[in-house]
Amino acid sequence: MQRPMTTRLGWFCLVMIIAGIAAQARAATFNVSPVRIHLSAAKMTGVLSVTNAGDAPTVVQCQVRAWSQQNEKDVYAATDDLIATPPIFTIGPGKTQIVRLGLRKPPHGSQESAYRIYLQEIPGPPKPGFQGLQIALRIGVPVFVDPAQAVAPALHWQAKLGEGGALTLALQNAGNAHVQVFDFSVSRRGTSQPIATQKVSAYVLPAQTMRWRLKPSQEGLKAGETLHLKAYTDAGDVDTDLVLGSP
Average pLDDT along the chain: 86
Q: What is the pLDDT of residue 134?
A: 60
**Tens digits of residue pLDDT in 38-50:** 999 999 999 999 9
Q: What's the mean pLDDT in 19-35? A: 63
Q: What is the pLDDT of residue 24?
A: 41
Q: What is the pLDDT of residue 130?
A: 56
Q: What's the mean pLDDT in 78-94? A: 96
Q: Say if CB 108 and CB 147 are below 8 A apart.
A: yes
CA distance 7 to 111: 58
Q: What's the mean pLDDT in 56-83? A: 96
Q: Which residues, at least 6 apart from 1, have a Cβ–Cβ distance to it below 8 Å?
A: none
Q: Say if CB 180 and CB 208 are below 8 A apart.
A: no
Q: What is the pLDDT of residue 123?
A: 81
**Tens digits of residue pLDDT in 96-152:** 999 999 999 999 889 999 999 999 998 866 666 655 666 778 999 999 999 988 889
Give the residue with greater pLDDT, 130 vs 168: 168
Q: Which one, of 208, 51, 20, lies nearest residue 119 by Cα?
A: 51
Q: Which one, of 192, 193, 194, 144, lies nearest residue 169 by Cα?
A: 194
Number of residues in the chain: 247
Amino acid identity at 133: L
Cα–Cα distance list, 156 to 171, 174, 175, 179, 197 (Å): 6, 7, 10, 12, 18
**Tens digits of residue pLDDT in 1-24:** 333 433 344 443 343 333 333 334
Q: What is the pLDDT of residue 150?
A: 85
Sign of CA dihedral 222, 224, 230, 234: positive
Q: What is the pLDDT of residue 15?
A: 38
Report whether pLDDT(233) > 80.
yes
pTM: 0.83
Q: Which residues, at least 6 apart from 11, have a Cβ–Cβ distance to it below 8 Å?
A: 3
> What are the structural domains of the chain?
28-145 (2.60.40.10), 155-245 (2.60.40.10)
